[in-house]
Structure 1
Amino acid sequence: MSTKLPPLNALKVFEVAARKLSFSQTAIELCVTQGAVSKQIKTLEEYLQLALFDRTPTGLQLTDAGKFYLPTIMEALEQIHSSTVGLQQFSAETQHLTLNISPSLSSLWMIPRLNLLNQTFPSLRLNIVSGDGAYQFHQASADVAIRCLPMSLSHQNATLLKKETLLPVIHKDLLVYTPINEPNDFFKHYLIHPTTRPQLWQQCLSSVLSSEKRERVLKSHHAFEHFFMSLEAVKQKQGIALIPEFLVADLLDDSELINPLGFKYESGYGYYFLTPSYRQQNTLIKQLYEWFDDNLEA
């Protein structure tokens, strides 16, 4: 018997034919003629000097030699396939981008979706940094930025991804003895303020309260710079906070945190995708924008 390796094409045909036990079905799967299948099997059997199939009146059957050979060939072909895919991914050109993104959006939304991002962009390597407020691109700065900005202003090199809808969120345990049955009941709880928008609670409650009730003193508690910090305080039963809906939706589904009265507040802010003008035609950046646009709406 020859010590050289058998023909790879013949091994592949054998593996399919052994699974199908039909040369005609093998030909369909491999998109070749039935004659080509028969020829490859004959070539392999002559090479091995062993019959791999019995052609019986009831159909094709594996011989003892074929049954012995099949598991090893299946495993070997799978290893070749896996190694080839891995090599292709390894050798694909890796693309690097720096993304400057607001801290809460990064920690509460993007990081939990990195596996989804990796599936869409297997060769993309992001350098993720955080920041808030207006962003100015300059030399050696980020390639892309995502910011929560006032929608009333015109922002250069910016495309709106999503309007900000805020929900008042509270731990369910705080409602056991102090329920919220109407908007006025918000005043019975400590309100967690965002330091970057100190008037946010007042603006929110003004949208649902009569003018005389708007003058009531708010029970303020700790204030935090970022939404992810306020959300953690809510989890620790420190009070009630206004959190963007898409950042807290999964937690509300678990019923530990609650949006009393199902109340929503359109803040007048939005999440923007910012790109310097000289990179706006970059194919990868366009695709990354589409990924954010699709998944923020999901």
Structure 2
Amino acid sequence: MSLRKLLPSPNAIFMFEAAARHLNFTRAAREFNVTQSAVSRMIGRLEQHLGVKLFIRSPTGIALSDDGRLLYNSVGNGFQQIEIALDEIRARHGDAGTVTLSLSSAFAMHWFMPRSDRFQAAFPGIDLRFQLAWGEPAGPVDDVDLAIRHNQPSSSDADAWVLMEEVVLPVCSPSYLAEHGGLGPCADMHKHTLAHLSGSVRVPWQRYLAEFGYPAPTGSRSLIFSDYSLVIQAAVKGRGVALGWWHVVAHELLQKGLVEASPHWLHTGDHYWLVASARRPLRKPAALVRDWLLSEMETLRHEVLRS
């Protein structure tokens, strides 16, 4: 049996949903700019048509019956799915909508937050939802619009655009540099405190030091954190030297909150990529965010890497 035959009127289900949501016929009537009695009559027609009571009336108000609750749950879920679909359609063809980004907490805090005002000025109709990865950004991208991934492998399931080269350099605060000096071929590692990220790190201190012929970190003090943002904060506060991924520390370098602790920058040969699922078209607001991210990163590359 078709849905049209199950209902006395298309308006009946809309008025029922409003009355069930408010548990008040008068408030439901305001949504449709009709009288309370008009809503009450429509609900009565619906109940008569279905042969069940959807509301329990009492002198103090109304409540949903078991049958009413069953219908309201189904109608509510259905309306929500329709709203999501309509929002999706509007977003595909307009400049507004919500874009979900999967990225590391460090990138969100140290790269995006300093640029949030600029983003909002450029795209007042786009809201961003961050899906944060506490550690290396990895994983599937089917449930997000865009993701930042390290060394994204080629795949027919994903579209990818090179976002930035991976470059690592030691950084510290100006006050730390003045008190302890920087790293050098003959540096006394005993006077340095090295900030580390716990767990398996792709570019640990040992690799960086060996790459440029620095002494082993034997005798240096260590600060170990489980989140990379705290590693950078320790350096900003003058507590030690941190290995900084250039795109994360770029803002602090430009603002002089951090300075280079060594002239040697390690180009790992790897890259970070912007990735989107190839299983669905990239919505217009997501494409705008993608282009903005690529443009901002290119500008920053010229400012910091000087190339």
TM superposition score normalised by structure 2 = 0.57
Query: Hey, what's the Cα distance between the residues in 2 that align with 1:284 and 1:183?
Result: 49
Query: Hey, what's the Cα distance between the residues in 1 that align with 2:118 and 2:237?
Result: 30
In the TM superposition, 1:1-298 aligns within 5 A as: 94-131=96-133, 132-138=136-142, 141-147=143-149, 149=150, 151=151, 154-156=153-155, 157=158, 158-180=160-182, 182-185=184-187, 187=189, 188-195=191-198, 196-197=200-201, 200-209=204-213, 213-214=215-216, 217=218, 219-298=220-299
Query: Hey, what's the Cα distance between the residues in 2 that align with 1:244 and 1:164?
Result: 7
Distance 1:93 1:177, change over 3 A: closer
Query: Hey, what's the Cα distance between the residues in 2 that align with 1:199 and 1:218?
Result: 20
Query: Hey, what's the Cα distance between the residues in 1 that align with 2:243 and 2:211?
Result: 14
Deviation, structure 1 residue 103: 0.6
Structure 2: runs of 5 or more not aligned: 1-93, 300-307
Q: Which moved more, 1:153-162 or 1:224-233?
A: 153-162
CA contact (8 A) 2:168 2:245 kept: yes
Secondary structure of the corresponding residue to residue 252 of structure 1: helix
Distance 1:95 1:235, change over 3 A: same
Q: Which moved more, 1:223-232 or 1:104-113?
A: 223-232
Distance 1:240 1:186, change over 3 A: farther
Distance 1:96 1:202, change over 3 A: same
CA contact (8 A) 1:183 1:205 kept: no
- In structure 2, give the amino acid aligned to 1:112: P
Distance 1:175 1:119, change over 3 A: closer
Distance 1:239 1:181, change over 3 A: closer
Partner deviation per Cα, 1:244-288 (whole Å, 9 max, x = no partner): 223323323444432123331123443221111123543333332
Query: Hey, what's the Cα distance between the residues in 1 that align with 2:239 and 2:231?
Result: 9
Secondary structure of the corresponding residue to residue 161 of structure 2: strand
Query: Hey, what's the Cα distance between the residues in 2 that align with 1:186 and 1:124?
Result: 51
Distance 1:199 1:291, change over 3 A: closer
- In structure 2, give the amino acid aligned to 1:154: P
Distance 1:208 1:280, change over 3 A: farther
CA contact (8 A) 1:193 1:220 kept: no
Which entry has the higher C-alpha Rg, 1 or 2?
A: 1
Distance 1:234 1:202, change over 3 A: same
CA contact (8 A) 2:114 2:251 kept: no
Distance 1:122 1:177, change over 3 A: closer
Partner deviation per Cα, 1:15-69 (whole Å, 9 max, x = no partner): xxxxxxxxxxxxxxxxxxxxxxxxxxxxxxxxxxxxxxxxxxxxxxxxxxxxxxx
Deviation, structure 1 residue 93: 6.9
Distance 1:268 1:219, change over 3 A: farther
Aligned to 2:31: none
Q: Which moved more, 1:169-178 or 1:233-242?
A: 169-178
Identity of aligned residues (%): 22
TM superposition score normalised by structure 1 = 0.59
Partner deviation per Cα, 1:165-196 (whole Å, 9 max, x = no partner): 12211122233343236244272412111224
